[in-house]
Each structure stands twice: as structure tokens, then as C-alpha cells.
Amino acid sequence: MTHAQQGNTSALSANLFYPESLTAVRECSGPCGQAKPATAFPTISRKAGARHGVCRACRDDRLRIARSIRPSARDDDPSVQRQKVYDVCRDVVVAHAGQPVSLTQIFIEVFDSVKFVPSESDVRASLEKLLKEESQLIKSHGDAYAWEAHGQAPSVPSAPSRVEEMLRRRLQGQTLDEIGLEFDLTRERVRQILKQHGGPSAKEVRNLRATQVRLTQVDRDAAATSEIRAALKDSKPMSAEEVAELTGLDAADVWRSWPRDLSHLRLWGTGKITSRWTDAEILAALQEASTYEFPLTTTAYRELIRVGQVVGPSVPRIGQRFGSWSAACAEAGVVSGERPNRNYESKWSDEDLLKIVLTYLLDPQSPNSAHRFDDWRRQNAPDGPSAQTLRNRFGSWTELKRRALALKG
């Protein structure tokens, strides 16, 4: 292939890989100084659209002259060439102190300053070495370098509005695929653009997304807490399910956001006592049990239930429904074998018991749970009723809380 053919092929390749208008004209910065078509200027490797300031003819003349120099006068030693590239790179960035200079511009100025054709890898390696050795040199964005003037950080050119929008979307947590779909770009191209302009890494985006989720949850919980407070403004005890139905919140949100200072108003469950046994069925079970045992004791009744001879509720359930075992037997017309209750509970009226429970519920130092009531009672009301006594009198702890807190209202 002749030199002319090589030139034509080179120009054609430049147009194929780095398309530029055929009518574009540039002025050569070399010895000729002529205005020539842009295709007459060699391109810089891996830099689409970027071309050297010296035309091919001037560059070829320089190469021809370099080959004609005696071997002893030529800089054949690669280490000498790399050192010259390093020195010129430093001079270039210092000459542009306070302003970012792209790798392409640095390469062009190095090319114009030395008598050999430097490689782009040598220029890049020299800049990386300078970054480590010169504290005033920084990599401002993408492939741009800047020398800090008088301790002042160089100004960084703002990204194009299109890129700024891509950065904004990425910082909001959008994926590369979502951004690419919006701007008609591939996922990889979006990643390259964001990296070139200092966009966040994948790890940083994950952390940002997690932070946004946490902040959203905090706002959601705060709003739910406010609605729960409004629902409980009358100090009426409710279950989480009842508050959820009243406010329209999700029950899980109500559980999570229930104000700690209003925990005494929270009921566990719906608070509605349901039983499969009617009063008539309980009385019938006692009457049937009395045909096997006279007088009927709780011990005998439990045994009859255990062996299946009688079908009925448990002894505690009977006590909750009728107040006591003796009262249930009297209602059924059955002789009770239990002695009259001589325990101290009889001296407490329902209102007295409810007031004690209310004091416990409103004590900010108490957990206001059923299983901790006896611990509180030993410290604050040693002569008061036990938790079991309260259940025997009122049934469930939920119902007891409802009735006790009703006194407060």
C-alpha cells in the first residue's frame, strides 16, 4: 500500500469512527499554519471526536525528520521519553493553574512540546504519578486534572443539564436501567456518564435508598402516632384493632406506633369475652355432676370433667361467670361441698378493686401488664388482691382494664 493510499485509508477510518462534518475547517498549529478540513487532523486514540492540533502533513514531516536524525542524537531510551512526558505534563497543568484541563488537552500540549510522538498511556501514567507526588494537583472530574492556585480549589465546570438530570435521578435511587429507559441509553452508557461526572457508586445508591426507606418509615410512624393520640384523646382504652378500625390505619402500624406514654390505654385483643358456654349449659353441667357426687366439690367436678363423665366448663370459668363456686351451685340448686370463702377478698367491693387496678395502670413506673401486677402489689399495695383474684372477679385482664380506666373518665 502506497503512502497516499495509507493517508486516504487513515482519513476514511477517522470519518468512520470519529464522524465530523466534511465541511468543517480547522487551522493547523504546526509549521504550515494552513486551514484544512477536520479530517486532515489525526484523532486521539479512544477519544471520539478529539483531534490533534497539528495536521497529518506536519506530523509526518516531524516523524520523517526524527527518523533522519543520527541514532546517537535520538531519544531512543523509553525512560528518557517518559521523564520528558512527566515534566511537560507538570508544566501544562501548572500553566493552567486554577482551571481543569482535560486529558485530551494535556496530550495535545505534550505532543506539541516534545520531538517524539508520546503515547497516551505515558501521559496518563505521568498524571497519576503527579497526583501522588504533588498535593496541589487534583483530579477534578472525569479525566480532567487541575492545579490548585494559591490553595484555592479549581472551579469544576457544571455538567450539562441532561447529565444533571441523570445524576438527580440516580441520587433519588433510580436504577441505571430506569434512567437509560428515560434517556434512550443503554445501562452501561448511563453508568459511564455518571462515573465520568462523579456520580454515586452502586453502594452509595443502596445506602441512599435504605436511608430514604428509613426516613419514609419514620414519617409514616410519626403520622400514625398523631392519629392514635387523637383516637385516645378521651382516655378510653382500646385494642390496636379497634384503633385501626377507627382511624383507618393498618393494625401493624398501630402496634408499632402506639405512644409509649399511653401504653396503659392499650388493650390486648378486642376485649370482648366470648364463651361457648351459656349460663343454662353451665347450670346443667353442675346438676349432672351432682348426681355423681354429693355434696359437689370442685375437686370432684374436675375429676368428672377429666374422665369425660360430665361435659362442662372449667372451675375458674364457672367462678368468673357466677362470682364463686358456691354461688353457681346455689343457682343450679345443687349442694356445694366447698366451705364458705373466708378469704380477705370478700372485704373488697368491685369499685375498690378497680381503683387499685387503675392506680397500677397509671403508675409511670409500672409496665401495666397482668403478669407484673403481683410484683407491683407487693411494693405498693401489700394488702391488696392478687392478679388471680382480680381475674376470678372480673374475667379477663382486658375487661378489667376497660372497667378500671372507665373510672378515670
Q: What are the helix (H) ranges across 232-313?
A: 240-247, 251-257, 279-290, 298-307
∠ Cα 349 354 360 (to 5°)? 135
pLDDT digits (tens, 9 = 90+) for 122-132: 888 998 898 88
What pLDDT score does 357 carry? 82
Span 275-298, mean pLDDT? 86
| More confident position, 292 or 390 | 292
DSSP string, 229-245: HHHTTT---EEHHHHHH
pLDDT at 34 over 60: yes
| Gyration radius of the chain over CA positions | 45
76 — pLDDT class (breaks 50, 70, 90) = low
> What pLDDT, in 10s, does the model give residues 350-367?
788 888 888 888 887 777
Beta strands per DSSP E along 112-231: 137-141, 144-147
Mean pLDDT of 168-175: 85
Prediction pTM value: 0.36
Pair 47, 104: CB distance under 8 Å: yes
Percentage of the chain modeled with pLDDT above 70: 78
CA distance readout (Å), 310 to 216, 294, 300, 306, 313:
58, 15, 11, 8, 10
Quote the cell numbers at residue 17. Answer: 469512527
- 8 A C-beta contact, residue 78 and residue 65: no
**pLDDT score of 189 more than 60:** yes
Q: Is the dihedral of CA 281, 287, 293, 296 positive or negative?
A: positive
Residue that is written with C-alpha cell 376485649 in the block = 271
Whole-angstrom CA distances from 317 to 103, 218, 277, 387, 393 are: 87, 44, 9, 15, 11
What residues have CB less than 8 Å from 274, skipping those under 6 apart?
A: none
pLDDT-derived band at 276, boundaries 50, 70, 90: low
CB 86 within 8 A of CB 126: yes
Report pLDDT for 134.
85
Place of cell 447529565: 163
Query: Contact 357/400 with Cβ under 8 angstroms?
Result: yes
Q: Does domain 78-147 have CATH number 1.10.10.10?
A: yes
HSE-up (13 A, CA, CB side) for residue 111: 25
pLDDT at 87: 92
Q: Residue 219 has which C-alpha cell?
A: 414519617
**CA of 367: how far to CAs of 252, 262, 375, in Å?**
21, 11, 10
- Domain ranges within the chain, ordered by starting residue: 25-67, 78-147, 161-200, 205-265, 279-332, 350-407
Give pLDDT tens digits for 315-357. 877 877 787 788 889 888 988 876 655 444 456 777 888 888 8
Q: Is the dihedral of CA 180, 184, 185, 190 positive or negative?
A: negative
